[in-house]
Homo-oligomer: A and B are copies of this chain.
Amino acid sequence: MNELATADTSRPVQLVARELANSSGYLLARLGLAFKLQATERAEASGFELYDYSVLAILGEGSRETQATIADALTLDPSRLVALLDSLEERDMVERQRDPQDRRRHVVSITNSGRKELARVRAIISQLEGEFFAPLDSANREALHTMLAALATQNDPRCCPLDDEE
């Protein structure tokens, strides 16, 4: 139940301060949060946590990873990753195996079922992106992405190390 929808008769809609709306940083933060919330909402409606997608995406690309490297890539505390992997493993999307070389390590890999589920979440997020960026035409969307990538590269090189073309 959205209270904003019911309040529109009682008082005029309060606008964000112009000063903030004129700030690209503010818009960036606001839109970024909005996108994340919507992505979370849709993913959860289909039985995924948003982090599930990140984990599956990493495992779907790279070779088999150890928990420490996954946590590192996600900038996530290893202790938080445990519950995520427990859940993914219960649902047969990933497998944990002891590394014979170093029996302290768990080698995590994606299962066939996990790849199918990855395709499902990918489609959900992709659909959302289409809607979210709909106000921009294709050329502008590409220009936006290039600029965001440039900012991300400065902000955290781990994000977009080389401007490699898709």
Interface residues on A, range: 35 or more
Q: Which of B23, B60, B128, B148 contacts A125 (CB 8 A)?
A: B23
Q: Which of B15, B27, B70, B149 contacts A149 (CB 8 A)?
A: B27
Q: State how many copies of this chain the complex holds.
A: 2
User: How far apart are the CA atoms of A166 and B60 in the complex, in Å?
Assistant: 46
Q: Mark A59-97, 1 if CB is under 8 A from B, else 0.
A: 011100000111011000000000000000000000000
The residues of B that contact A28 with a CB separation of less than 8 Å are 28, 31-32, 35, 148
Q: Is the interface of A mostly helix, strand, loop or mixed?
A: helix
A30 on interface, CB distance cutoff 8 Å: yes
**Known contacts A23-B129, A25-B128, A143-B143; A135 and B148 CB within 8 A of each other:** no
Q: Which of B27, B73, B155 contacts A17 (CB 8 A)?
A: B73
A156 on interface, CB distance cutoff 8 Å: yes
Beyond the given A15-B158, A22-B166, A27-B148, please list 13 additional residue pairs across the A-B interface where CB-CB is below 8 A: A7-B72, A15-B159, A16-B73, A17-B73, A22-B145, A23-B129, A24-B144, A28-B28, A28-B32, A29-B32, A30-B32, A30-B155, A30-B159
User: Which chain A residues have a beta carbon within 8 Å of chain B's beta carbons?
Assistant: 7, 11, 13-25, 27-36, 39, 54, 57-58, 60-62, 68-70, 72-73, 122, 125, 128-129, 132-136, 140-141, 143-145, 147-156, 158-161, 166
